[in-house]
Chains A and B, each alone.
Chain A
Amino acid sequence: MRAGSPRENYLGVRGWVWAGRYDLERYLYTLHRITGLGLVLYLFMHLTVMAIVRGILGEGAYEDVIDFFEHSVFKVGEYVVFAAFIYHGLNGLRLIFQELGFLLGKPKPPIYPFRDSLRRRRPLALGMMGFVVVMAAFVLTDFAKGGP
């Protein structure tokens, strides 16, 4: 009998979204990836712009760029980046806790009716998402007041 290849059931990017009955945590993971990719894109744009205007062009160009990004469209974009940071950071922290076994309770023998690992993980996921919403709303108040 031929050994199965690990790529036989590979769904590619489509599998990020749907491959059957995905649970909440799977979609949180997909959103983690999407925010991660967005933040990588932002990181390289931020690095490039700041290196050029601060290191090469100097004060005049720096102040022109800062004024340019004061436009409300960029303020909304800045908040989206901020919200993505909050989500990616806190969901990442949840994944680290989960991987290292923190906040999941002590291991118990699997005697019926047992609490499976999903039911142990779910409160952590919901709690962390609640924290994400609170933090995002908190930061929104700063933007609404016309933060820098």
Chain B
Amino acid sequence: MRDTYLWLLQLVTGSLIIVFLAVHMVMMHLDNIVGFFGGHIDEPSFWSSMIDRATKGWWLTFYISFLALVLYHALYGLRGIVLEVTPSGRTERVVTGMIWAVGLGAFALGVYAPVHLFTR
């Protein structure tokens, strides 16, 4: 039953990532297309634009939520593939432990910069 809920969470995070990623990609990369539809985005990769976003609580919440969703989806998917290609079922506990360690480390790494910039 636990695996069913974890799989369901994989489907939910996958669906939410499509929405979050679309916002991120349009903001960061598709300014020409936004301009075509009459919108305007200041050059998003400039340091000043990045700092402007980093000091807004809304963007901080957005990026931390996005990071959590992406890490769960990516690492649960990776765990499934690793368990499939691992010759023995006995390795499951080791693989799950490693995935947890990598996930927590990556979350701490990913959260560090936005929180540092928000609070400085």
Contacts and interface: CB of A to CB of B under 8 A. Distances in A.
Interface string A105-141: 0000000000000000000000000000000001101
Contacts of A62: 47, 50
Interface residues of B, number: 37
Contact of B32 (A44, A50, A93, A142): A142
Majority DSSP secondary structure for residues of A touching B? helix
Chain A contact patch, size range: 35 or more
Majority DSSP secondary structure for residues of B touching A? helix
A134 B4 CA distance: 34
A96 B13 CA distance: 11
A51 interface: yes
Contacts of B28: 148
Contact of B47 (A59, A138, A147): A59
27 contacts: A13-B85, A36-B81, A39-B74, A40-B74, A40-B77, A47-B67, A47-B110, A48-B109, A51-B109, A51-B110, A51-B112, A51-B113, A54-B50, A54-B117, A55-B113, A62-B47, A63-B47, A89-B14, A89-B17, A93-B18, A139-B33, A141-B32, A142-B33, A146-B32, A148-B29, A148-B43, A148-B44
